[in-house]
Amino acid sequence: MVLLIILVLVLVALALVSTYRLVMLRRGGTAAILRVLPARGGERWRHGVIRYDEDHLVFFKLSSLKLGADSVIRRRGIEIGERRGPQGDEYDIMTDGIAVIGVSDRDGDYELALDRAALTAFLSWVESRPSERARRLRGH
């Protein structure tokens, strides 16, 4: 009987976490495909949703039960790498309308696959960040 109660509690907890994650994903954001580098070929790509705030881009994987964001890219110190189209077996999950862009911050290197509108929004978010000098003056 105790084992049955424990099993029911675990299932209820799993259902609550799944519901919370679904609510987090449905609150809005931009559809994206992200992978953490290093990776070879078309492996390690994850579908999800990105959201922007003033200092961070947060990525929520569709297939995760983690309560928070799966990846966080900090706006301060962000560097944009080369832009390319899908290659090889990446066409299994992407179309020609997708652009893959390299992104890095102090914590890691990523590739982000976005459609044209989402790429424009991302680049606008990056380019509109305050300069380091403006941040120092404001904090003074």
Q: Is the pTM of this model over 0.85?
A: no
Q: Residue 7: its pLDDT value, please?
A: 94
For 68-85, the pLDDT digits (tens) are: 788 999 998 899 999 999
| CA gap 25, 32 in Å, rounded | 12
* Res 136 pLDDT > 60: no
| CA gap 3, 34 in Å, rounded | 40
Tally the C-alpha atoms within 13 A of residue 61's C-alpha that lie toward its C-beta: 13
For 7-39, the pLDDT digits (tens) are: 999 999 988 888 887 777 677 789 999 999 988
